[in-house]
Amino acid sequence: MVKITPIPAFQDNYIWLLHKDGHAVVVDPGDAAPVIRFLKQNHLHLDAILITHHHGDHIDGVESLLNVYPAMVYAPAKEHYSFPHIAVSESTEVHLANLNLSFQVLEVPGHTLGHVAYYGSNYLFCGDTLFGAGCGRLFEGSPEQMYHSLQRLAALPAETAVYCTHEYTERNIEFALTLEPNNQNLIIRAQSSREQRSQNKPTLPSTIALELATNPFLRCAVAEIQSSSKTNSSLPVNVFTAIRQMRNQF
Ligand SMILES: [Zn+2]
């Protein structure tokens, strides 16, 4: 069995580390120091680094890790990276032999234009696209692109475990409750997230099922959310555009 551990970094990032039989893979190492510490403490060799997008808090640790471990780096083909890497795009298969895992690359533009997610064996590493009860900001892409990307993730099997890169769940739930104050699943999730955070535990991974039940950005066809979005249109993509804008001001 592969073990998956969140390594906290910066204010609210998680660097997800997967390991099995002494071999490890990290996703989006924005900082090398805590990763190297964890690898040394657990006598792990770093085989590979998966990158979802080009923001510094996801890649700034790569060079330092490569100075210590000759790891293979996988990064989106549609973005530019100064470190050596294998460029991945839609449907690329990333095979991690020592972990006995294969991930399929999904292009999910919106937060950045080249953003990718890695999906396989019921795991989803989605970077800054989907968050617990929320979604990433639109730094480069259009609302239409992000909406479409989120719809693709929403269509994955319900039991898929969702590994996001930031601990934003509590704040996202606060916002979601302003749109859907009577959503019982959301009320329950608010309580469980509060308990997890009060014990300094991550609220992640989530699941696609839980996101479908509580994440307003995946629920743009729900009447209450349409009405809370104050758009005249009932087109889900227009509702998405409106509530993403509201979240920016929240
Ligand atoms: Zn980002």
Task: Parse the chain into domains and list their residue ranges.
Answer: 3-167+202-215
Give the Å distance between the CA of 127 and the centre of ligand 1.
Answer: 7
Give the Å distance between the CA of 86 and the centre of ligand 1.
Answer: 20
Give the Å distance between the CA of 50 and the centre of ligand 1.
Answer: 14
List, for residues 46-63, the tens digit of each pLDDT value: 999 999 999 999 999 999
What proportion of the chain, given as a percentage, has pLDDT over 90? Answer: 98
End-to-end CA distance of the chain, in Å? Answer: 41
Report the chain's mean pLDDT, rounded to a whole number: 97
pLDDT confidence bin for 234, thresholds 50/70/90: confident
Give the Å distance between the CA of 143 and the centre of ligand 1.
Answer: 16
Q: Is the pLDDT of residue 237 over 90?
A: yes
Tokens describing residue 144: 């239409």
Give the Å distance between the CA of 10 and the centre of ligand 1.
Answer: 13
pTM value is: 0.97
User: 3-167+202-215 maps to which CATH number?
Assistant: 3.60.15.10
Give the Å distance between the CA of 115 and the centre of ligand 1.
Answer: 9
CB 85 within 8 A of CB 74: yes
pLDDT confidence bin for 204, thresholds 50/70/90: very high
Give the Å distance between the CA of 196 and the centre of ligand 1.
Answer: 24
C-alpha span between 143 and 235 (Å, rounded): 13
C-alpha span between 135 and 138 (Å, rounded): 9
Is omega for the bond preceding 70 within 30 degrees of 0, making it cis? no
Count of positions (residues) in the chain: 250
List, for residues 153-164, the tens digit of each pLDDT value: 999 999 999 999
